[in-house]
Amino acid sequence: MKIFGVDIGGSGIKGAPVDLDRGDLAEERCKVLTPHPATPDAVADGVKDVIDHFGWTGPVGITFPGVVTGGSTIRTAANVDKSWIDVDAGALLGERLGGLPVTVLNDADAAGVAEMEFGAGRGRRGTVILLTFGTGIGSAVFTEGELVPNTELGHLELNGHDAEKKASTKAKDDNGLTWEHWSRRVTKYLTHVEMLFSPELFIIGGGVSRKAEKFLPLIQGIKAEIVPAQLQNNAGIVGAAMRAAQIHHP
């Protein structure tokens, strides 16, 4: 079965049809830059551009970089325009897409769902935490395979700062940090998260997971196993499609 997945990020909006039997993209993904300011109307136009590229006419799963409650209402918007807060994203995006059935969920939750089903978390029990490093830091927490939604652990306070302001990939790039320097910040952050949750496994996702060999060996002193996301930066697209399939093809 194929369902369309879209991943809205702070820097890009990307999507593709997903083959849910394989847990992989059915076609090469299309990506457009996230507009600035990333207002609801402007982002909706970007999502439409991605979907129109494929001529897709079925259900669509869409991730959002913030807390999503009550089905599709946006509660936080750290890395997009604040005008998203309290918007019914499902209604807005469904209307912009000409009435296509739309499902909306947190972006890191989507990536986590995909990794638990098809990737690095497959078959793992206990507490598993996926962390996506990009414009911010997203998180997905699982206990015995069940998702605890909207955890937003990137906003934990660390040394007086929002953790993602210091340890995201954007922080690395904006401050010109070496892999060694950035890895020390990531280690401090992981130590803090481990102290709070004692996971058996950390899965590191986001675009930086493609370069895991540059930083994972530098992270020391964490008791939990640490592995890169197997679906890498496509995990959000796959997870979005999985959620849409659960809703529209149960």
What does the pLDDT look like over 71-117, one tens digit per residue? Answer: 999 999 989 999 999 999 999 999 999 999 999 999 999 999 999 99
**Same domain (yes/no): 97, 36:** yes
**Same domain (yes/no): 90, 8:** yes
Measured between its terminal Cα atoms, the distance across the chain in Å is: 12
| Rounded-to-integer distance, Cα 33 and Cα 13, Å | 6
**Same domain (yes/no): 12, 40:** yes
Last residue of a domain, one of 64, 79, 106: 106
Residue 204, domain member (yes or no): yes
Three-state SS at 139: strand
What are the residue ranges of helices labelled H in the chain? 40-54, 89-96, 107-118, 163-167, 169-174, 179-197, 212-215, 235-248
Residue 114, domain member (yes or no): no
Per-residue pLDDT tens digits for 145-188:
999 999 999 999 988 999 999 999 999 999 999 999 999 999 99
Model confidence at 248, pLDDT cuts 50, 70, 90, reads confident
**Same domain (yes/no): 25, 49:** yes
**Same domain (yes/no): 191, 150:** yes
Residue 89, domain member (yes or no): yes
Last residue of a domain, one of 81, 106, 131: 106
pLDDT of residue 159: 87
Last residue of a domain, one of 61, 83, 106: 106
**Same domain (yes/no): 100, 135:** no
- Vertex 204, ends 66 and 226: CA angle to 5°? 140
What single-letter DSSP state applies at residue 113? H
**Same domain (yes/no): 62, 163:** no
Peptide bond just before 217 cis, omega within 30 deg: no
**Same domain (yes/no): 89, 131:** no
**Same domain (yes/no): 185, 216:** yes
The domain in which residue 198 lies consists of 120-229
CATH code, 177: 3.30.420.40
Looking at the predicted structure, is the pLDDT value of residue 243 above 80? yes
Tokens of 74: 């946006």
Residue 234, domain member (yes or no): no
Spatial CB neighbours of 226, under 8 Å, sequence gap ≥ 6: 190, 201, 202, 204, 216, 219
* Count of domains observed in the chain: 2
Q: For residues 129, 132, 136 and 138, what is the CA-based torsion angle, rounded to 10 degrees?
A: -40
**Same domain (yes/no): 147, 204:** yes
pLDDT of residue 212: 95
**Same domain (yes/no): 125, 192:** yes
User: Among 68, 86, 79, 66, which Cα is nearest to 37's?
Assistant: 79
